[in-house]
Amino acid sequence: MRWTLKPTPDPETIERLSNDLKVEPLVAHLLAQRGITTYNEAKAFFRPELSHIHNPFLMKDMEKAVERIETAMDNNENILVYGDYDVDGTTSVALVASYLLESYTNVATYIPDRYSEGYGVSIEGIDFASDNEFSLIIALDCGVKAVDQVVYATGKGIDFIICDHHRPGEVLPEAVAILDPKREDCEYPYKELCGCGVGFKLIQALASKQGLGIETLVPYLDLVATAIGADIVPITGENRVLAYYGLQVINQNPRIGFKAIIEHVKKKNLTITDVVFIIAPRINAAGRMKHGQHAVNLLMESDLGTAQAFAQEIEQYNADRKSMDKLITEEALAQIQEKGEEDRFTSVVYKENWHKGVIGIVASRLTETYYRPTLVFTKSGDKLAASARSVKGFDVYNALEACSDHLEQFGGHKYAAGLTLLEDQYEAFKEQFEQVVASSINPSLLTPEISIDAPMKLEQINPKLMRILKQFAPFGPGNMTPIFMSEKLKDTGYGRGVGEGEKHLKLSIAQRGVKPIGAIGFNLGPKWDKIKAQNTFDAVFSLDENEWNGQINLQLKLRDIK
């Protein structure tokens, strides 16, 4: 790991903030690093309020979208709520469809089949709408590049409202309205909404037209918080407010579908991390292993018994997904080694029978192993489809754009993308992608970085600091868990390897003159040899609480040791 200490904020700002808020300079330091430099900014950070959420009509085309939906309702038209098959898409569909169904019955949902239709707005989906007399499609978490599909729909008398958060292409579709904060001509003040967040802005606008305040929409925020966590968008600004209130809903009064999922995981007080690693994979498993519509059905279900049956199915999909991604990851790693490609700047692998639903997860696993931009291909119809994953600091979307001559289509974000190409283009693309990355990536980005907020002495750790740090949550991009570094540490002699194969490290750590504190280091078992001879060491860690036999003690959650 590369240890990188973040720049120290301006000392005068730290001192002023420390005095104004009556907090330790360390807390003021952490706030200033997050761009929080005044009392009012700190108040908004620690006490998010629904009033901080922006007016939805600041978003380009919002008025047009609301008017078209109102017209559809007035004319008794059929509305199809269409979304992608991942967590962001399925939560978006459940959100908008369940809101519309509160006051209007002619609403149905549609999730494209991952395998026969692929990502985004499909011709099959438009044909379904036409065959079933839908005259308005609301597309969520997709559609901003669906230029040809919207033309096709228009020819069949179907209007489109697009709610997306991906980067638009040079030409926008001829839709009735395109809600996307990343449009260059959109002046909406917060640009980092996920697809479900854009869907929320739409129902917020619809509600305000009916004279309803935002507090009436709080029950929908469990869906929005789940999408924010799963789609790895920044948890800053408006997203932070939406995630904060959404987590409250998940923990206090979740929808029936979430209740059924949580019963399986038997965990209380879920954090955004739990949402990402417990709830989101289960919702995703439906689209990966079977069909995304199963997830929508669960998220919209109002009967607990039915929801429990749906959740049991999804639990099985998730178990199948786990075993499949383990198998494919092993095969992909073997392929890299057999071809002698361990020292390349990229990992690009292909096998025609790999399950399309898990190649994104496999790409993430390979990135953990080799830490470089990664593509995992499989056969999809008469083409090859791939999931791309990147490393911190490198824009894989731009790299794919530089190779677009070889691609049929691609889309996504800086760190994750999807693409398709013809099989005869695979080898040429693979070499060009390697050349593009090799010529543009800073070699230091190929070593994992751990970003440190501040140095710390163990004597600074106390329950009051922990109480304040817990209020920094929810954590995520733009507001990561605070990471500290401490030097000249020693194990008190109680250290040992724990877990299967002693892969984890459990220590009791002392620093001169300070009472020892417990520490746990997941996957750091191999480091034990370096420190068991009472050698001093430096450590990077976050602060954590360890609950055992009803007792709660502070401990260090070790990230790395040198």
Which tokens go with 213?
């305040």
Q: State mean pLDDT over 257-263.
A: 93
Burial class (CB in 10 A: 0-12, 13-18, 19+), 51: exposed
Q: How much is the pLDDT for 531?
A: 84
pLDDT of 332 strictly over 80: yes
Q: Taking phi first (over 0 means left), then psi (-120 to 50 degrees means alpha), and beta for anything else, what does residue 381 get? A: left
> Are residue 259 and residue 379 in the same domain, yes or no?
no
Q: Report the length, in residues, of the chain.
A: 562
Tell whether 324 is covered by a domain: no
pLDDT at 534 over 80: no
CATH number, position 562 = 2.40.50.460
* Residue 335 pLDDT grade (very low, low, confident, very high; cuts 50, 70, 90): very high
Distances (CA, A) of 215 to 53, 195, 204, 497: 11, 21, 10, 50
Asked whether residue 320 is assigned to any structural domain, the reply reads no
Q: Is residue 4 part of a domain?
A: no
- 101 and 27 assigned to the same domain: no
pLDDT at residue 405, rounded to an integer:
94
Q: Which two tokens stand for residue 501?
A: 């194969």
**How do beta strands 107-110 and 78-83 pair?**
parallel
User: Average pLDDT of 147-161?
Assistant: 97
Contact criterion met (CB below 8 Å) for 504 and 524: yes
Q: What six digits make up the tokens of 174? A: 């001829």
Given this model, what pLDDT does residue 155 score?
97
- The half-sphere exposure of 377 on its side-chain side, counting CA atoms within 13 A, is 22
- Going by C-beta distance under 8 Å and a sequence separation of 6 or more, which residues neighbour residue 16? none
The DSSP letter of residue 502 is G
279, 465, 469, 480, 560 from 472: Cα distances, Å: 22, 11, 5, 9, 22
How would residue 54 be classed by pLDDT, with cut points 50, 70 and 90?
A: very high
* Predicted confidence (pLDDT) per residue in 443-487, tens digit: 999 999 999 999 999 999 999 999 999 999 999 999 999 999 999
Sign for the pseudo-dihedral over CA of 266, 272, 276, 280: positive
Run of H or E residues at 18: helix 11-21
Is 321 part of any domain?
Answer: no
Write out pLDDT tens, residues 82-135.
Answer: 999 999 999 999 999 999 999 999 999 999 998 888 889 999 999 999 999 999
Share of the chain above pLDDT 70, in %: 100
Please indicate, yes or no, whether residues 72 and 188 belong to a single structural domain of this protein.
yes
pLDDT tops 80 at residue 266: no
CA distance 192 to 182: 8
For residue 294, give the CATH number of its domain.
Answer: 3.90.1640.30
Same domain as 266, residue 140: yes
> How many beta carbons lie within 10 A of that of residue 121, not counting itself?
28
Separation of alpha carbons 487 and 232, rounded Å: 32
> Which residues lie across from 110 on neighbouring strands?
82
The answer, yes or no, to whether residue 248 has pLDDT greater than 80, is yes
Q: Is the residue at 327 inside a domain?
A: no
Same domain membership, residue 118 and residue 267? yes
Residues 217 and 260 in one domain: yes
**131: CB partners within 8 A, 6+ apart:** none
- Cα(541)–Cα(29) distance, integer angstroms: 17
**Do 197 and 256 have their domain in common?**
yes
**Percentage, residues of the chain above pLDDT 90:** 87
CB atoms within 10 A of CB 57: 15
Residue 474: cis peptide before it, omega within 30 degrees of 0? yes
Q: Report pLDDT digits (tens) over 413-444.
A: 788 899 999 999 999 999 999 999 999 999 99
User: How many CB atoms are closer than 10 A to CB 386?
Assistant: 27
Indicate the pTM of the whole model: 0.90
- The distance of Cα 302 from the centroid of its chain, to the nearest Å, equals 26
What is the domain range of residue 402? 339-446
Residue-wise DSSP of 198-235:
HHHHHHHHHHHHTT--GGGGGGGHHHHHHHHHHTT---
User: Is residue 36 assigned to a domain?
Assistant: yes
Q: Which of 414, 446, 478 is the last residue of a domain?
A: 446
Q: What is the pLDDT of residue 512?
A: 86
pLDDT at residue 296 in the model = 96
* Distance separating alpha carbons of residues 17 and 235, to the nearest angstrom: 22
Please report the pLDDT score of residue 359 as a whole number.
95
Confidence bin at 547 (pLDDT 50/70/90): confident
Structure tokens at 346: 């990229």
Beta strand extents in 141-214 (DSSP E only):
159-163, 177-179
- Write the pLDDT tens digit of every residue in 497-507: 898 888 999 99
Say which residue the tokens 């018994």 belong to: 305
pLDDT of residue 167: 86
pLDDT surpasses 90 at 232:
no
One domain, residues 298 and 221: yes
Segment 45-52 shows an average pLDDT of 95
506 is a domain residue: yes
> Measuring CA to CA, which residue among 261, 254, 249 is closest to residue 286?
261
Mean pLDDT for 503-529 is 91
pLDDT band at 80 (very low <50, low <70, confident <90, very high): very high
Our measurement of the distance from residue 170's CA atom to the centroid of its chain's CA atoms, rounded to an integer in Å, reads 26
* 419 in the same domain as 459: no
Of 313, 330, 357, the residue that ends a domain is 313
User: For residue range 163-199, what is the model confidence (pLDDT) as tens digits?
Assistant: 999 989 899 999 999 999 999 999 999 999 999 999 9
Q: For the chain, give the mean pLDDT.
A: 94
67 and 27 both lie in a single domain: no
Q: Is residue 326 part of a domain?
A: no
Give the residue from 208, 357, 373 showing the smallest Cα distance to 291: 357
More confident residue, 512 or 149: 149
Q: How many domains does the chain have?
A: 4
DSSP reduced 3-state for 501: helix
> Residue 530's pLDDT is what?
80
* 91 & 153 share domain: yes
Residues 442 and 465 in one domain: no
Of the three residues 413, 446, 479, the one that is the final residue of a domain is 446
pLDDT at 495 (0 to 100): 84
CA distance 479 to 472: 8
